Amino acid sequence: QSALTQPRSVSGSPGQSVTISCTGTSSDVGGYNYVSWYQQHPGKAPKLMISDVSKRPSGVPDRFSGSKSGNTASLTISGLQAEDEADYYCCSYAGTHWVFGGGTKLTVL
């Protein structure tokens, strides 16, 4: 039950695009299309941004998109805005349990 691997930090200027990767194994990310992404602002609970690899819940801007290739999932945020600055976590089903990534801090320059 090891954590998924994410870069510790990424950054971009307003209007630019950034991509956050999430690497697991064939037992989690690669084995199921149940990868989700969560945004967390300081002192707040995580908020669902992407489910089932690439589905956007109602209310989430279409600037947020998800994809997966093999054992690696990705979250892309286009047209960066100041309010996107937060921590982002990926999560995958791993057969009777769930595993999260260590998190990526997004800084909007």
**Contact set with other proteins (CB under 8 A):** 1, 3, 34, 36, 38, 45-48, 51-52, 57, 89, 91, 93, 96-103
Phi, psi (deg, nearest 5) at residue 81: -125, 160
Q: Which amino acid is at 84?
A: D
Positive or negative, the CA dihedral 61, 12, 35, 54 is positive
Nearer to other proteins, 47 or 63 (CB): 47
Nearest distance from C-beta of residue 109 to other proteins, angstroms = 23
- Compute the least distance from the CB of residue 4 to other proteins, in Å: 9
Closer by beta carbon to other proteins, 18 or else 91: 91
Shortest Å distance, C-beta 14 to other proteins: 26
> Is the CB of 82 or the CB of 97 nearer to other proteins?
97
Nearest C-alpha neighbor of 61 from the set 81, 91, 86, 42: 81
49 vs 82 by CB, closer to other proteins: 49
Least CB distance to other proteins at residue 91 (A): 7
Contacts of 20 (CB under 8 A, 6+ apart): 6, 7, 10, 74, 75, 76, 77, 88, 90, 104, 106
